[in-house]
Amino acid sequence: MTQTQPQTTVVSPAHAGGAASTRKRRRIIDLSFEIYQGMMVYPSVAKPVIVEMENHAQMAKSMGTDKLGITHLPNHCMIVTGDHVGTHLDSWGHVNPKAPRVEGIPLEYCYGDGVVLDFTAKRPGDEISPDDVERALQAIDYALKPLDIVLLRTDAAKYRDEKRYLTDHPGMTKEAVHWLLDRGIKMMGIDAPGFDPPVPNMFERNKFWEAHMVMLEREYYHLENMGNLHEIPAPYHSFTVSVLPIPWRGASAAPVRAVAIIEE
């Protein structure tokens, strides 16, 4: 299946609610995956099922309006999916059994200033170290501030419909996660299927989901399966990020409609 590419939407000053003479042009970049049957998902995660329960004509028949000449009513679908399908936000409770789950994700961490760190030079299976993070920040001449939302660009999402999406990406080390947390970062995201290196590389190194396991020690949140980070323009830090989760009570993760908001 050919996946629809994330959309970029332009909001005019008038639609944004301000005077055209004082408001900047606002551009919205979709950083989310389209959810569909048969999509690539993380190992052991069930693929989503989307079924039309009744089409427009069937709805009219079910409601009895077809007998009155109304043969077309709104349809409805059933969606069955895991909480780690597509672009999603892992809760603290995903790893730490004593921590809140999705309903406890602080919304103030889900909307704020964004920064993109470029790790596209990393090879499949590579680890992202604190030194790598420092160099990426130096490359864009940016100093992090507390509650920035840090997005890790690997470009793995460009081949998210291929099997290599599950293996051809780098991942964070626990030391790199701690480095960001020490600077007041609470929310991070990656355009890959996992926040850690790929599963085969973790088994080779005998280091298993160490970036995730930081949640046993400290509160933090990360997103996986983000897309379109390559469309965020230079200087890679003058934009707003929104990654608001659906409040699924008791779930370990929640889908988000992640967007970058660019003022031009």
pLDDT at residue 219 above 50?
Answer: yes
Q: Which CATH number fits domain 88-263: 3.40.630.40, 3.10.180.10, 3.50.30.50, 2.40.30.10?
A: 3.50.30.50
Tell me what pLDDT residue 9 has.
66
Tell me what pLDDT residue 4 has.
46
Q: With the CA atoms of 113, 119, 120 and 123 taken in that order, what torsion angle do they form, in degrees rounded to the nearest 10?
A: -150
pLDDT at residue 7 above 80?
Answer: no
The torsion region of residue 104 among left (phi > 0), alpha (psi -120 to 50) and beta comes to alpha
* CB proximity list for 30: less than 8 A, separation 6 or greater: 6, 7, 8, 9, 227, 228, 257, 258, 259
Q: In whole angstroms, give the CA distance from residue 48 to residue 51.
A: 10
pLDDT tens-digit series, residues 101-153: 999 999 999 999 999 999 999 999 999 999 999 999 999 999 999 999 999 99
Task: Match 């996946």 to its residue by tokens.
Answer: 3
Tell me what pLDDT residue 264 has.
86
pLDDT tens-digit series, residues 169-191: 999 999 999 999 999 999 999 99
The pLDDT > 70 percentage for the chain reads: 91
> How much is the pTM?
0.89
Residue type, 73: L
Count of positions (residues) in the chain: 264
152: three-class secondary structure by DSSP: strand
Could you tell me if 248 and 257 are in contact, meaning their C-beta atoms sit under 8 angstroms apart?
Answer: no
**What are the domain boundaries of the chain?**
49-80, 88-263
Tell me what pLDDT residue 2 has.
42
pLDDT tens-digit series, residues 55-91: 999 999 999 999 999 999 999 999 999 999 999 999 9
